[in-house]
Amino acid sequence: MPSSSTERPATPISAETFDVRFPTHETLAGSDAMNPDPDYSAAYLRLNTDQGAGHGFTFTIGRGNDIQVAAIESVVAQLAGADIDVLLSDMGQTWRRLVHDSQLRWLGPEKGVVHMAIGAVINALWDLRAKRAGQPLWLHLATLSVDELLSLVDFRYLTDALTVEDARAILTSAEPGRAERIAELQRVGYPGYTTGPGWLGYDDDLLAKLCREAVADGFAQIKLKVGGNLSDDKRRLQIARDAVGPDVRIAVDANQRWGTADAITWMRELAPYDIAWIEEPTNPDDVLAHAAIARALAPMPVATGEHAANRVIFKQLMQAGGVQIVQIDATRVAGVNENIAILLLAARFGLPVCPHGGGVGLCQAVRHFSFFDYAAVSGSMDGRMIEHVDHLHEHFVEPLEFRAGRYLAPSVPGASTEMRPESLQQYRFRS
Amino acid sequence: MPSSSTERPATPISAETFDVRFPTHETLAGSDAMNPDPDYSAAYLRLNTDQGAGHGFTFTIGRGNDIQVAAIESVVAQLAGADIDVLLSDMGQTWRRLVHDSQLRWLGPEKGVVHMAIGAVINALWDLRAKRAGQPLWLHLATLSVDELLSLVDFRYLTDALTVEDARAILTSAEPGRAERIAELQRVGYPGYTTGPGWLGYDDDLLAKLCREAVADGFAQIKLKVGGNLSDDKRRLQIARDAVGPDVRIAVDANQRWGTADAITWMRELAPYDIAWIEEPTNPDDVLAHAAIARALAPMPVATGEHAANRVIFKQLMQAGGVQIVQIDATRVAGVNENIAILLLAARFGLPVCPHGGGVGLCQAVRHFSFFDYAAVSGSMDGRMIEHVDHLHEHFVEPLEFRAGRYLAPSVPGASTEMRPESLQQYRFRS
Read off the pLDDT of residues B66-125 as tens digits, 9 standing for 90 and up. Answer: 999 999 999 999 998 899 999 999 999 999 999 999 999 999 999 999 999 999 999 999
CB-based contact (8 Å) between A260 and chain B?
yes
Output the pLDDT for position A431.
Answer: 66
Residues of B in contact with A108 (CB under 8 A): 111-112
Q: Which domains, and CATH codes, for chain B? A: 3-135 (3.30.390.10), 171-415 (3.20.20.120)
User: What is the CB neighbour count within 10 angstroms for residue A172?
Assistant: 10
- Compute the mean pLDDT over every residue in chain B, rounded to the nearest whole number: 94
Residue A84 reports pLDDT greater than 80? yes
Q: What is the 3-state secondary structure (H, E, C) of chain A?
A: CCEECCCCCCCCCEEEEEEEECCHHHCCCCCCCCCCCCCCEEEEEEEEECCEEEEEEEEECCCCHHHHHHHHHHHHHCCCCCCHHHHHHCHHHHHHHHHCCHHHHCCCCCCHHHHHHHHHHHHHHHHHHHHHHCCEHHHHHHCCCHHHHHHCCCCCCCCCCCCHHHHHHHHHHCCCCHHHHHHHHHHHCEEEEEEEEECCCCCHHHHHHHHHHHHHCCCCEEEEECCCCHHHHHHHHHHHHHHHCCCCEEEEECCCCCCHHHHHHHHHHHHHHCEEEEECCCCCCCHHHHHHHHHHHCCCCEEECCCCCCHHHHHHHHHCCCCCEECCCCCCCCHHHHHHHHHHHHHHHCCCECCCCCCCCHHHHHHHHHHHHHHHHCCCCCCCCEEECCCCHHHECCCCCEECCEECCCCCCECCCCECHHHHHHCECCC
Among the partner-chain residues B67, B103, B256, the one whose CB lies closest to the CB of A70 is: B67
Helix, strand, coil fractions of chain B, as percent rounded to 5: 45, 15, 40
Among the partner-chain residues B114, B284, B312, the one whose CB lies closest to the CB of A286 is: B312
In a mutational test of the B interface, the residue from A32, A166, A288, A317 whose CB has the highest number of chain B CBs within 10 Å is A288
In a mutational test of the B interface, the residue from A102, A116, A282 whose CB has the highest number of chain B CBs within 10 Å is A102
Between A428 and A51, the higher pLDDT residue: A428
Among the partner-chain residues B61, B112, B289, the one whose CB lies closest to the CB of A114 is: B112
Q: Does the distance separating the beta carbons of B158 and A104 come in below 8 Å?
A: no
A137-188 pLDDT tens trace: 999 999 999 999 999 999 999 999 999 999 999 999 999 999 999 999 999 9
Average pLDDT on A256-270 reads 97
The alpha carbon of residue A128 is apart from the nearest alpha carbon of chain B, in Å, by 26
Amino acid of residue B157: Y
Average pLDDT on B7-29 reads 76
Average pLDDT on B258-277 reads 97
Query: What residue in B sits closest to A33 (Cα-Cα)?
Result: B102
Query: What residue in B sits closest to A40 (Cα-Cα)?
Result: B103
Q: Let me know if A356 is a catalytic residue.
A: yes
Output the pLDDT for position B81.
Answer: 87
Residues of B in contact with A316 (CB under 8 A): 285-288
B296 sits in which H/E element: helix B287-297
Query: In Å, how far are A77, A85, A128, A184, B29 from A81, measured between CA atoms?
Result: 9, 12, 18, 42, 29
A374-392 pLDDT tens trace: 999 999 999 999 999 988 9
Among the partner-chain residues B63, B71, B283, the one whose CB lies closest to the CB of A67 is: B71
Output the pLDDT for position B341.
Answer: 98
The conformation of residue B374, written as its DSSP 8-state character, comes to I
A183-233 pLDDT tens trace: 999 999 999 999 988 888 889 999 999 999 999 999 999 999 999 999 999
B 285-314 residues with CB < 8 A to A: 285-289, 292, 307, 309-310, 312-313
Average pLDDT on A1-18 reads 58
B197 sits in which H/E element: strand B190-198
B 183-222 residues with CB < 8 A to A: none
**Pick the catalytic residue: B225, B290, B315, B368?**
B225
Output the pLDDT for position B12.
Answer: 57
Query: What residue in B sits closest to A78 (Cα-Cα)?
Result: B63
